[in-house]
Structure 1
Amino acid sequence: MSTTQIDRLRELLEPLTGKRGMDLEEIAITPAGRRRVLRVVVDADQGVGLDACAELSRVVSAALDETDLMGGTPYVLEVSSPGAERPLTQPRHYRRAAGRLVRAQLHQGGELTARIVAADDTGVDLEVPGEKGRKPTARRVEYDEIARARVEVEFNRKDPKTGGVDRDATHRSQEEA
């Protein structure tokens, strides 16, 4: 059975990320002139900050230096967290986006923009905004009904506790963009 370079990298890196409470979301190798870029994307329930990315980058670099997985061609290692508008593809992505506004394309056609209230292993509970002054409505959508979904960036997201603008969320959204 043949394994790809990405598979071998995943085998090496998943234990390193798991030990730090992170999920290994993506590994990509792309050419960049005479060298390559090895992009490692990680996420965690509490998010991943710059310090965590820098520490993981040092650990990954040391682990790669002990192997020949990247071959002899020079490469640049990038360790980052997912972007603000990353696609939601796993139940954990929806769970981590609780409270956020999402836009989903449904398999049966149509588009839905709603706020995630909760998510579990089979689907997501949403609050669909009311139109023309009507109250929001609750809706349950199973994952197999969703063709694709992504978080919408909100620069003036309301604080669910006070109903006012969540200045920290606004600041975080601007940093992520």
Structure 2
Amino acid sequence: MLEQEVRRLIEEALEENPSLFLIEFEIKGDNQILVVIDGDKGVSVNDCIEVSRKIEHNLDRDEQDFSLEVTSAGAASPLAMPRQFKKNVGRKLSVKTEEQQFEAKLEEANDEEITLRWKAREPKPVGKGKVTVNKEAVLEYADIVEAKVMITF
């Protein structure tokens, strides 16, 4: 009952601000409600407050006691859905698959796959020395074990 009601309120809050989307929703023991959101243009403190108010002001604490935490996906949080990849096109990612790991620029992202591009130094086909070559990988979301934005300072 509580889970369905909270899910409905989250959906209403996100309809009011379509640039926001849900990453995680969980109700732990003792009715601890955790909501993690992200946004196409990032998430402000006010965005978290608005979602929190939408939930809190529409639940009756006399009926059920609960705690509520609404947070944004952190900068170090793994990317979890295509919409997050799309908003990070142009940034450098660290992407792990079962077989490989890539550190590359996210060139494209659609609903099925991502395209990564990077430069690598490889031995010359003929003679000694190395040459810089452009590399590309197209990965389906199902093949990605973990992907994070690489933060550079």
Q: TM-score, normalised by structure 1?
A: 0.68
DSSP-derived class of the 1:63 partner: coil
Is 1:121 matched with 2:90?
no
Q: Which runs of 5+ in 1 are unaligned?
A: 156-177
1:40–1:80 CA contact under 8 A, matched in 2: yes
Structure number with bigger Rg: 2
Partner Cα distance (1:67, 1:40) in 2: 22
Partner Cα distance (1:94, 1:115) in 2: 11
Report which structure shows greater RCO (CA 8 Å, sep ≥6): 2
Partner of 1:11: 8
In the TM superposition, residue 41 of structure 1 has moved relative to its aligned partner by 1.1
Partner of 1:50: 45
| Matching of residues 25-104 of structure 1 within 5 Å | 25-30=23-28, 37-65=32-60, 68=63, 71=64, 73=65, 75-104=66-95
Q: Which shifted more, 125-134 or 15-24?
A: 125-134
Partner Cα distance (1:99, 1:25) in 2: 21
Q: Identical aligned pairs, as a percentage?
A: 28
In the TM superposition, residue 135 of structure 1 has moved relative to its aligned partner by 5.0
TM-superposition CA deviations, 1:86-128 (whole Å, max 9, x none): 2222211211121222222213x12111111120011111122
1:118–1:125 CA contact under 8 A, matched in 2: yes
Q: Which runs of 5+ in 2 are unaligned?
A: 122-129
Partner Cα distance (2:62, 2:88) in 1: 36
Partner Cα distance (1:123, 1:67) in 2: 47
Bigger share in strand = 2
Partner Cα distance (2:54, 2:9) in 1: 11
Partner Cα distance (1:42, 1:103) in 2: 21
DSSP-derived class of the 2:10 partner: helix
| Matching of residues 143-158 of structure 1 within 5 Å | 143-155=141-153
Partner Cα distance (2:114, 2:58) in 1: 38
DSSP-derived class of the 1:134 partner: strand
Q: What one-letter code is carried by the residue in structure 2 that aligns with 1:52? A: D
| Total equivalences in the alignment | 144
1:104–1:111 CA contact under 8 A, matched in 2: yes
